[in-house]
């Protein structure tokens, strides 16, 4: 399917992007990764160590696409996974999130459509665009009402891809991912999703904390299943739809998720705490995906149940933790001291 193809993976040193880049390289694709490893976004060059000799790495922001125009021109498919993923950071530094999740993507797509018109571009969107669900499970027709800047900006970037596809300038598909977990998720990046926080604490032998009563529902999806969704979307000949939910194989409460994870880690306990104000205001309650569209149109179906996926994840970090964790930094602070530089760049670019 990808043997002999050229693939460009933005955000390819991050969590999902690196797993995708590794899989593409092993399938025989020529892979170019674009990732400047901006602090807080999860990029880690160690992530692609298994295929380092088979991939090219461009250490640039996607906003600087003119500087890697040659790689775009040579590509057969683009997987666009660049951006900030922290909802808390988006509320602390909204202009930073705007720059990373919208302005950079607009500039990138403007270059792509000029250099390689009509190319397939698969964008990593998020279930966060739906906000607090009106009903469960959530299908692609659910109203969009994000509760944080990250959801708003990610939705705007997805609409750039879809609008340009309507105009025939690119061939875009947006995958709305639920809570993704697995090997290579960033454990030292502060204010990431609850699953990466769980894995961090379990790897350090710490107990888990759940905000609220723990009865909130989630449908976690293992990273290998997500990679398969990207590969299928990248090879789809004539898309019937351009937006797909990508959810996990089972719906579990946070209490159940924590219980399974603690049992696998052995001897770790769970406690409940009130929501911190910074997270209470952006909590969405329960969420579960309706992934029937991608199952029907792409033949995709999640295969890895949570217990198996979490066991694989913890096994990975038991072996590789020195490349992902600083044991002296037990509680990383949700601050990004250099964020002002990103804001200055945004203001300069907008002049």
Cis amide bond preceding 265, omega within 30: no
Beta bridge partners of 321: none
Q: If you count them, how many residues does the chain have? A: 351
Q: Which helix or strand (DSSP H or E) is residue 265 part of? A: helix 254-265
Give the pLDDT score at 273: 85
C-alpha to C-alpha distance for 11 and 17, rounded to whole angstroms: 6
- Collapse the DSSP code of 35 into the 3-class scheme (helix H, G, I; strand E, B; otherwise coil) and give the result: coil
Give the pLDDT score at 296: 98
* DSSP code for 101: I
Domains of the chain, CATH where assigned: 6-331 (3.40.50.720)
pTM above the 0.85 mark?
Answer: yes
CA 301 centroid distance within chain: 18
Give the pLDDT score at 333: 56
Q: What is the mean pLDDT of each run of 10 residues along the chain (351 residues)?
A: 97 98 98 94 95 98 98 98 90 95 98 98 97 98 96 98 98 98 90 89 92 94 98 96 98 97 91 77 91 98 98 97 78 54 38 25
Determine whether 350 is exposed, middle or buried from the number of CB atoms within 10 Å of its CB (0-12, 13-18, 19+).
exposed
- Collapse the DSSP code of 138 into the 3-class scheme (helix H, G, I; strand E, B; otherwise coil) and give the result: strand
């Amino acid at each position: 399917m990808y043997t002999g193809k050229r693939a460009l993976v933005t955000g390819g040193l991050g969590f999902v992007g690196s797993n995708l880049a590794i899989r593409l390289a092993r399938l025989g694709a020529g892979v170019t990764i674009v990732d400047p490893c901006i602090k807080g976004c999860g990029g880690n060059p160690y992530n692609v160590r298994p295929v380092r000799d088979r991939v090219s790495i461009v250490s640039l922001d996607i906003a600087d696409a003119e500087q890697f125009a040659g790689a775009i021109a040579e590509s057969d498919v683009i997987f666009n996974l660049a951006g900030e993923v922290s909802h808390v950071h988006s509320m602390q530094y909204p202009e930073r999130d705007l720059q990373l999740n919208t302005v950079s993507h607009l500039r990138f797509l403007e270059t792509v459509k000029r250099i390689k018109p009509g190319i397939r571009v698969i964008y990593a969107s998020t279930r966060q665009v739906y906000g607090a669900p009106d009903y469960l499970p959530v299908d692609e027709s659910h109203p969009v009402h994000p509760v944080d800047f990250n959801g708003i900006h990610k939705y705007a970037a997805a609409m750039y891809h879809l609008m340009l596809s309507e105009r025939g300038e690119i061939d875009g598909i947006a995958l709305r991912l639920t809570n993704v977990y697995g090997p290579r998720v960033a454990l030292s990046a502060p204010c990431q999703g609850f699953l990466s926080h769980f894995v961090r604490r379990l790897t350090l032998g710490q107990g888990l904390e759940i905000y609220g009563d723990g009865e909130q529902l989630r449908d976690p999806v293992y990273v290998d299943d997500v990679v398969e969704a990207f590969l299928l979307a990248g090879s789809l000949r004539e898309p019937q739809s351009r937006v797909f939910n990508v959810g996990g194989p089972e719906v579990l409460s946070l209490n159940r998720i924590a219980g399974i994870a603690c049992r696998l880690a052995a001897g770790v306990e769970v406690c409940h705490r009130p929501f911190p104000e910074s997270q209470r205001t952006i909590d969405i309650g329960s969420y579960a995906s309706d992934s029937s569209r991608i199952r029907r149109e792409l033949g995709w179906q999640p295969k890895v149940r949570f217990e198996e996926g979490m066991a694989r994840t913890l096994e990975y970090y038991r072996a590789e933790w020195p490349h992902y964790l600083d044991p002296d930094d037990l509680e990383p602070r949700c601050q990004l001291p250099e964020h002002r530089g990103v804001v200055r760049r945004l203001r300069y670019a907008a002049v």
